[in-house]
């Protein structure tokens, strides 16, 4: 593979997969409100 | 009159997996790699990411808000927004109906190809096998010609699975199925990518995909391709995300979830690009030709190029099972969401119970699918319907919907306030600019661009008569059906009738 192709592949992976990980972490830091759980559902311990 | 609480996703992860399952479909695997390759390779990443951030995620957020705010499927939700807008909702439902009928057929082919992979039953000429032995396609398209049992029976199985999942409802059906499908898809596809990367010539393929051609960025069609890819691969514009979000709790996060779903979809696309091009690199090297000669997209890539690779490589049967099983799972999780749009819309406007709606309305979709497509000309009908319903169904309905919501009804400020009240990421002016200016301009441009091509030459060289009957009439028919359905006197869901449909502000969970 050429250097430019390797660099672009790494950038693509870092930005897109990094974006996914960042979005998941951001969402996890914003807990789901308790009253949102439907009847019968329990929050995982 | 009995008041039933609306069903809800059991967990946030369950909703997210279902939303990701819907977005990740056949297009991620067989469309993205070729589009990226044709439009600047590594340089395509730039317009692609800009399209994701300025159109894909903002639209996803808007659809989530509409679904969660009104807690109704598209026709009833848009009716709450403004009565005439209900027609756009039914238009989207009609589009989903059409797409579901042929999307299931491709999954049925993939089911058969899982079996064909064992022993590579396509022989030396996968193309002749696909169109001749398997589909029995004539040279020119006809209509409802010979019956093809080899497609019919797997299609029956696909419909039984899809309607079976939907009959169990949101939590016990869709959510549970996606909790199995998405991790399984990831494991299968990851195994496929690892195998592909160990093949001779994999680096050649990746080189072809990722080498940037920066000069392409000055080419307008590359930007249209990027927005088109984001738009079609995210399952936006035809009511799916409004429907899924209508089963969210009133205080559920929206913006953070949209970011996760949007980036997860693109992450899978990048993975698919790596897997597909590593494989094509192997095929090119083994055949002694350049990668440009083996690149393809869609049906040709999946059912002609991949079988050729599978025949070439050691333990190809195993690779084939991985690939076609991935197609089946990615397709099923998307098909479930498409049919749910139709089922949910009818439920919300009639007050019909879920199982009745699934059997009645879902059964009707299945019936149309089973009558029209397992026929010798089914492939042509599929190809024409797909092209026209994408361009003049999904994209046009999205453009009209956006203009009506943003510019005619001026709903963005209230939608923004609704999302900001509960979400992890607050929306700013950028969101309104993206939806009010950037996305409509790009969608409008896409529309003009594709209409121009349409009138320059007949799509795929089909006869004008065939395109009118199998293409244009399908797209225009979906619009007409949408308008007609919006004038029907439905028994439920209107502001005047109360059946499981009290106003969102009054609705209580119990």
The pLDDT of B188-201, averaged and rounded, is 94
The pLDDT of A23-44, averaged and rounded, is 72
Question: Does residue A36 fall inside a structural domain?
Answer: no
pLDDT in tens, B138-162: 988 887 788 999 999 999 999 999 9
CB-CB under 8 Å, A29 with B424: yes
Higher model confidence: residue B494 or residue B345?
Answer: B345
Q: Of the given ranges (B132-146, B422-436, B489-503), which has the lowest mean pLDDT? A: B489-503
Residues constituting chain A: 45
pLDDT band at B5 (very low <50, low <70, confident <90, very high): confident
Residue B417 has pLDDT above 70, yes or no: yes
Give φ, ψ of B147 to 5 degrees: -85, 140
Question: Does residue B503 fall inside a structural domain?
Answer: no
At A22, is the secondary structure helix, strand, or coil? helix
How many domains does the structure of chain A reveal?
1
CB-CB under 8 Å, A4 with B203: no
CB-CB under 8 Å, A36 with B250: yes
pLDDT of residue B296: 84
What is the distance between the alpha carbons of residues B507 and B510, in angstroms, rounded to a whole number?
Answer: 10
DSSP B6: P
Q: Which residues pair with B147 in a beta bridge?
A: B375
Question: Does residue A38 fall inside a structural domain?
Answer: no
Q: What is the dihedral of CA B55, A6, B29, B125, to 10 degrees?
A: 140
Q: What is the dihedral of CA B10, B13, B15, B21, to 10 degrees?
A: -130
Residue B79 has pLDDT above 50, yes or no: yes
Q: Which residues of B touch A1 (CB under 8 A)?
A: 203, 206-207, 210
Full residue range of the structural domain in which residue B454 is found: 21-487
Residue A1 has pLDDT above 90, yes or no: no
Question: Does residue B480 fall inside a structural domain?
Answer: yes
Return the CATH number at B295: 1.10.4160
Q: How many other C-beta atoms are found inside a 10 Å radius of the C-beta of residue B50?
A: 16
Give φ, ψ of B61 to 5 degrees: -60, -45
Higher model confidence: residue B387 or residue A34?
Answer: B387
Q: What is the DSSP string of B140-180?
A: S--SS-SB-HHHHHHHHHHHHHHHHHHHTHIIIIIIHHHHH
Question: Does residue A18 fall inside a structural domain?
Answer: yes
pLDDT of residue B493: 57
pLDDT of residue B504: 43
Of B145, B170, B156, the C-alpha closest to B354 is B170
Of B499, B6, B354, B63, the C-alpha closest to A38 is B6
Q: If you average pLDDT over every residue of chain B, what do you get?
A: 91
Percentage of chain B exceeding pLDDT 90: 82
Is the Cα torsion angle A16, A22, A23, A24 positive or negative in sign? positive
Instruction: Report the gap between the CA of A45 and the closest CA in chain B (Å).
Output: 13
What is the distance between the alpha carbons of residues B351 and B375, in angstroms, rounded to a whole number?
Answer: 36
Span between the terminal Cα atoms of chain A, in Å? 47
Token digits of residue B432: 């309104």
Q: Which residues pair with B375 in a beta bridge?
A: B147
pLDDT in tens, B120-136: 999 999 999 999 999 99
Burial label, A37 (beta-carbon count in 10 A; 0-12, 13-18, 19+): middle
Residue B496 has pLDDT above 70, yes or no: no
Question: Closest partner residue to A23 among B212, B256, B423, by Cβ?
Answer: B256
pLDDT of residue B505: 44
Q: What is the dihedral of CA B271, B274, B279, B280, to 10 degrees?
A: 130
CB-CB under 8 Å, A11 with B211: no
Question: Does residue A15 fall inside a structural domain?
Answer: yes
Question: Does residue B493 fall inside a structural domain?
Answer: no
pLDDT band at B221 (very low <50, low <70, confident <90, very high): confident
CB-CB under 8 Å, B11 with A20: no
DSSP B375: B
What is the distance between the alpha carbons of residues B385 and B472, in angstroms, rounded to a whole number?
Answer: 8
The pLDDT of B44-68, averaged and rounded, is 95
Question: Does residue A25 fall inside a structural domain?
Answer: yes
CA B376 vs CA B141, B142, B151, B338: distances in Å = 8, 8, 10, 25
Q: How many other C-beta atoms are found inside a 10 Å radius of the C-beta of residue B157?
A: 12
Question: Does residue B176 fall inside a structural domain?
Answer: yes
Nearest 5°: the CA angle B286, B290, B294 is: 75
Question: Does residue A40 fall inside a structural domain?
Answer: no
CB-CB under 8 Å, A8 with B42: yes
pTM (predicted TM-score): 0.91
Full residue range of the structural domain in which residue A8 is found: 3-29
Question: Does residue B10 fall inside a structural domain?
Answer: no
pLDDT in tens, B363-414: 999 999 999 999 999 999 999 999 999 889 998 999 999 999 999 999 999 9
Higher model confidence: residue B493 or residue B416?
Answer: B416
Question: Does residue B496 fall inside a structural domain?
Answer: no
Question: Does residue A13 fall inside a structural domain?
Answer: yes
Q: Which residues of A touch B423 (CB under 8 A)?
A: 30
**Chain mean position to CA B54:** 20
Q: What is the CA radius of gyration of chain A?
A: 19
Nearest 5°: the CA angle B254, B70, B103 is: 75
Chain B interface includes A42 (CB < 8 A): no
Residue A45 has pLDDT above 70, yes or no: no
At A26, is the secondary structure helix, strand, or coil? helix
Higher model confidence: residue B100 or residue B499?
Answer: B100
Pairs of CB atoms within 8 A across A/B:
107
How many domains does the structure of chain B reveal?
1
Question: Does residue B8 fall inside a structural domain?
Answer: no
Token digits of residue B204: 């050649």
The pLDDT of B487-502, averaged and rounded, is 56
Q: Which residues of A touch B256 (CB under 8 A)?
A: 23, 26-27, 30
Residue B21 has pLDDT above 80, yes or no: yes
What is the distance between the alpha carbons of residues B474 and B477, in angstroms, rounded to a whole number?
Answer: 5
The residue behind tokens 């005619």 is: B408
What is the distance between the alpha carbons of residues B331 and B24, in angstroms, rounded to a whole number?
Answer: 8
- B120, HSE (Cβ side, Cα atoms, 13 Å): 21
pLDDT band at B220 (very low <50, low <70, confident <90, very high): confident
Span between the terminal Cα atoms of chain B, in Å? 16
Of B66, B108, B174, B168, the C-alpha closest to B404 is B66
ipTM: 0.87
Question: Does residue B11 fall inside a structural domain?
Answer: no
Question: Does residue A10 fall inside a structural domain?
Answer: yes
Relative orientation angle of helices B86-117 and B363-372, to the nearest 10 degrees: 60
């Amino acid at each position: 593979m050429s250097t430019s192709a390797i660099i672009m592949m790494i950038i693509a992976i870092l930005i897109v997969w990094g974006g996914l990980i960042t979005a998941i972490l951001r969402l996890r830091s914003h807990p789901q409100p308790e009253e949102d759980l439907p009847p019968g559902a329990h929050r995982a311990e | 009159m009995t008041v039933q609480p609306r069903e809800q996703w059991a967990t946030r992860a369950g909703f997210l997996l279902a939303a990701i399952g819907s977005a990740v479909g056949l297009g991620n695997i067989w469309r993205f790699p070729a589009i990226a390759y044709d439009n600047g390779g590594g340089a395509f990443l730039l317009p692609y990411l800009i399209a994701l951030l300025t159109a894909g995620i903002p639209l996803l957020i808007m659809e989530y808000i509409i679904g969660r705010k009104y807690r109704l499927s598209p026709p009833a939700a848009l009716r709450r927004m403004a009565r005439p807008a209900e027609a756009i909702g039914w238009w989207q439902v009609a589009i989903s109906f059409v797409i579901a009928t042929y999307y299931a057929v491709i999954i049925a082919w993939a089911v058969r190809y899982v079996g064909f992979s064992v022993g590579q039953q396509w022989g030396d000429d996968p193309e002749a096998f696909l169109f001749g032995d398997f589909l029995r396609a004539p040279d020119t398209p006809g209509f409802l010609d010979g019956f093809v049992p080899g497609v019919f029976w797997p299609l029956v199985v696909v419909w039984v699975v899809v309607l079976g999942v939907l009959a169990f409802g949101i939590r016990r059906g869709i959510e549970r199925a996606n909790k199995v499908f998405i991790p399984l898809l990831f494991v299968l596809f990851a195994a496929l990518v690892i195998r592909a990367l160990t093949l001779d010539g994999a680096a050649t393929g990746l080189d072809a995909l990722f080498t940037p051609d920066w000069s392409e960025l000055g080419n307008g069609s590359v930007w249209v391709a990027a927005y088109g890819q984001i738009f079609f691969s995210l399952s936006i514009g035809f009511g799916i995300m409004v429907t899924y979000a209508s089963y969210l709790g009133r205080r559920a996060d929206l913006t953070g979830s949209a970011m996760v779903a949007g980036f997860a979809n693109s992450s899978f696309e990048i993975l698919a690009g790596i897997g597909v091009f590593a494989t094509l690199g192997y095929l090119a090297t083994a055949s002694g030709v350049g990668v440009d000669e083996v690149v393809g997209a869609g049906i040709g890539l999946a059912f002609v190029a991949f079988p050729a690779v599978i025949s070439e490589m050691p333990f190809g049967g195993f690779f084939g099972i991985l690939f076609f099983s991935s197609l089946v799972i990615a397709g099923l999780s998307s098909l479930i969401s498409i049919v749910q749009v139709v089922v949910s819309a009818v439920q919300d406007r009639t007050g019909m119970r879920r199982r009745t709606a699934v059997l009645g309305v879902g059964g009707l979709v299945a019936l149309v699918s089973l009558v029209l497509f397992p026929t010798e000309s089914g492939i042509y009908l599929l190809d024409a319907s797909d092209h026209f319903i994408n361009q003049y169904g999904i994209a046009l309905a999205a453009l009209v919907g956006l203009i009506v919501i943003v510019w005619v009804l001026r709903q963005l400020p209230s939608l923004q306030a609704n999302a900001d009240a509960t979400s992890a990421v607050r929306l700013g002016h950028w969101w309104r600019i993206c939806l009010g200016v950037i996305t409509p301009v790009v969608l409008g441009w896409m529309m003009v661009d594709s209409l121009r091509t349409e009138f320059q030459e007949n799509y795929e060289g089909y006869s004008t008569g065939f395109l009118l009957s199998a293409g244009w009439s399908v797209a225009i028919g979906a619009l007409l059906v949408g308008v007609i359905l919006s004038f029907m006197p439905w028994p439920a869901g209107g502001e005047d009738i109360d059946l499981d449909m009290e106003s969102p502000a009054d609705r209580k969970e119990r």
